[in-house]
């Protein structure tokens, strides 16, 4: 089976989901800053997405560890450690009463995470074609090298 192709498809889908979750959180914070949402709605919207984001990021990191892509695992590990640290300290949820005071800090943290997730996205996009070409039987031989000549010998 083409496990490497499936790995990169799952990584791409989970990375897109992480980007969507984070962009929605940034939109909620911007709406609060522009006074389109009240603090309770903003906090409840963001808090409902924090744990799914943490779980998806942990699964994203564990996926690379289990499949043996250790460099990608090491790239995704700092964000997973940051999320684990926030969760164990109880700082992962946005407080309704303190949201205006921490608005600029929350936006800054999420913008930094957005840059990191975009870096992950470009790394996955870069590795996706290599994984898909290496899994096709036309482009690989017994030794794992590109061997197009063997496909012409079959005809």
Contact between residue 76 and residue 57 where contact means Cβ atoms under 8 Å apart: yes
The per-residue pLDDT for 6 is 82
- Mean pLDDT of the residues in the chain: 84
User: Per this entry, what is the length of the chain?
Assistant: 155
pLDDT of 21 > 90? The answer is yes
Q: How confident is the model at residue 152 (pLDDT cuts 50, 70, 90)?
A: very low
pLDDT of 50 > 60? The answer is yes
Q: Which residues contact 11 (CB under 8 A, 6 or more apart)?
A: 60, 63, 64, 72, 124, 128
Average pLDDT of 35-58? 92
Across 23-27, 98-102, 142-146, which has the greatest mean pLDDT? 23-27
pLDDT of 151 > 50? The answer is no
The CA-atom distances, in angstroms, between 57 and each of 11, 13, 94, 148 are 10, 12, 19, 38
The per-residue pLDDT for 4 is 77
The CA-atom distances, in angstroms, between 137 and each of 5, 36, 55, 69, 146 are 12, 54, 35, 21, 10
Q: Dig out the tokens for 92 from the structure.
A: 């992962």
Q: How far apart are CA 29 and CA 17, in angstroms?
A: 19
Nearest to 60 by CA among 110, 21, 20, 7: 7
- Going 107 to 113 to 117 to 123, the CA torsion angle's sign is positive
């Amino acid at each position: 089976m083409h496990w490497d192709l499936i790995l990169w498809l799952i990584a791409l889908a989970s990375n897109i989901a992480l980007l969507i979750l984070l962009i929605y959180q940034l939109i909620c914070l911007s709406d609060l800053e522009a006074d389109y949402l009240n603090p309770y709605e903003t906090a409840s919207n963001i808090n409902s997405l924090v744990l799914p984001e943490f779980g998806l990021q942990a699964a994203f990191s564990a996926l690379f560890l289990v499949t043996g892509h250790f460099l990608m695992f090491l790239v995704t590990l700092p964000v997973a450690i940051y999320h684990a640290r926030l969760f164990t300290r109880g700082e992962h949820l946005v407080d309704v009463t303190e949201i205006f005071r921490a608005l600029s800090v929350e936006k800054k943290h999420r913008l930094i995470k957005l840059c990191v997730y975009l870096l992950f996205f470009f790394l996955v996009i870069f590795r996706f074609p290599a994984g898909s070409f290496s899994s096709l039987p036309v482009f690989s031989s017994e030794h794992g090298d590109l061997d197009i000549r063997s496909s012409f010998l079959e005809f």
